[in-house]
Copies of this chain bind each other. A is one copy, B any other.
Amino acid sequence: MNASQTTIQLDRIFGALADSTRRAILDRAYRGEVTVNELVAGFDLSQPTISKHLKVLERAGLISRGREAQFRPVRIEAPALAGADRWLGAYRRLWEDRLGRLDRVVEDLKQQGDA
Which residues does A use to contact B, with CB under 8 Å?
1, 7, 10-15, 17-20, 23, 26-27, 30, 66, 68, 75-76, 78-79, 81-82, 84-85, 87-92, 94-96, 100, 104, 107, 111, 114
Contact = CB atoms under 8 A, between A and B. Distances in A.
Contact of A95 (B78, B87, B100): B78
Contacts of A68: 114
22 contacts: A10-B23, A11-B18, A11-B19, A11-B20, A12-B18, A17-B18, A18-B18, A30-B90, A66-B111, A66-B114, A75-B111, A76-B91, A78-B91, A81-B88, A81-B91, A81-B95, A82-B94, A82-B96, A85-B85, A85-B88, A85-B91, A85-B92
